[in-house]
Amino acid sequence: MPILPIDSGRYGSKEMKEIFEECKRLDYELEFEAAVANAQADINIIPRYAATEITEIITSDKITLNRIKDLEKISDHDTAAMIEAISELCSNNTKPWIHYGLTSNDVVDTSTSIQMREAFTIIESKIQILIKELLKKAKENENLPAVGRTHGQHASIISFGLKFAIWSNEMLDHLTRIDEGKKRFLLCKTLGVVGTGSIMREKALDVQKIVSKKLNLFPIEAATQVIPRERYAEMVFIIALIGSTLDKIAIEIRNLQRTEIGEVQESFKEGQMGSSAVPVKKNPIKSERISSFAKILKSNVNTSLENISLWHERDLSNSANERFIIPITAILIDDMITTMIKIIAGLYINKEKILKNIEITKGQIFAEFVLQLLISKGIPRFEAYRNIQRIAFKATESQEHFLKLLSEDKDIIKSITREELSSIFIPQNQLSASSQIINNIVKRAQKMKIFE
């Protein structure tokens, strides 16, 4: 029976989970063994007939997971059990050439790379969909002024669409990181027990190069018995970094959905229940789930960093935990991206409340622009700053509008006209370079062929 919610189907897409299923993992391991045998035959390390027979047996569906598990009960070694299962079906002439010159972690590490090659294909595709949704929201809200907050306080005016454009730009960066990182962590290794290619000798690197090309991977330049775990740490970190960006988006949505702010709301379908006790609740549960998963991804980075420090040419202290953290990291980031796509696509944006919130401070959100106007009139910065601050504090205390008190203050009005002052307090006038920034990010996405 299922133990983890991933197993029960609660989290993770079918296509991503299939990559990490035992049967699929076995397919990748067998694919690797066949690729190595054929590469070795191509350059006359093993007989061609042996490579042909190994390939025929591997592709015959006669090697079963159940048989391998039975053999593993005896050998207590999963890779050895897989090799023995191949050997059982081979002729005596071919048996010596199975797994020739390889060590178990050549199979294990390269198969993990194949899994992650497939996983990143899904991840990249979904990130592209998310970018499209984010940029759609960015353009739709390009000219909508909103409160920009720093330290949780009203700071200045922002284009509401700029929020989405910034997030999409970070996701574009993540695509670049993945693409640049593949040559460092989607690796093929065929260099044997301690990374010297000892059995294949001077042809070892040629075999690795051929196999890498067959499997659409990159050959490791140097390794011990295992691919250096710095490579896995980078891979897990990049995924956790993507998860952290999704967490950042989720936290912003959660905050903007707070009753006191009310600027956005996750979609809420008919029949959905926000609370078992409070019928009126509409909770941002999808965003909260993303934030929850992000904590797991971040913790997996620490584990992957711990795995770097192995003894000598390797030990097994990384092996067991990698069987958890690599599949879980890939499955969770896939779920998080899928969930965020749904959130953004169905996000309700309360434009009326966004505009209303600008006036919560009764005009004080425009203080930055008042300061700049005074400076442009030749008033020293700190003189202008202190006058504006004095008036703002007075406005807060008296609950009067900031514009009214500015218009009545002799130190302000002596330098600028009331008409100049009033024009500052029109939100649409303060979007500044927002449209240009948004359009530049759209152009970047187009250049990266996101919209093809």
Q: Which of 226, 222, 194, 236 is nearest to 319 (CA)?
A: 226
Residue 334 host element (H or E): helix 319-346
Distance CA(344)–CA(422), nearest Å, equals 36
**Token representation of residue 214:** 């067959």
With residue 299 as reference, give the H or E element that holds it: helix 285-306
Taken in order 377, 383, 385, 388, the sign of the CA dihedral is negative
CA distance 86 to 99: 10
At residue 107, what is the residue type? V
Return the axis-axis angle of helices 160-185 and 104-140, rounded to nearest 10°.
160
Contacts 24+ apart (CB under 8 A), 378-387: 378/415, 379/415, 387/411, 387/412
- Cβ atoms of 145 and 426 closer than 8 Å: no
State the catalytic residue, choosing from 275, 309, 317, 376: 275
Say how many CA atoms lie within 13 Å of 89 toward its Cβ: 18
**Nearest-angstrom CA–CA distance, 76 and 172:** 45
Query: Residue 250 in contact with residue 344, Cβ under 8 Å?
Result: no
What token pair was written down for 57? Answer: 């047996």
Catalytic residue list contains 151: yes
Query: What is each CA distance from 91 to 37, 54, 83, in whole angstroms?
Result: 15, 10, 14
Catalytic residue IDs: 151, 275
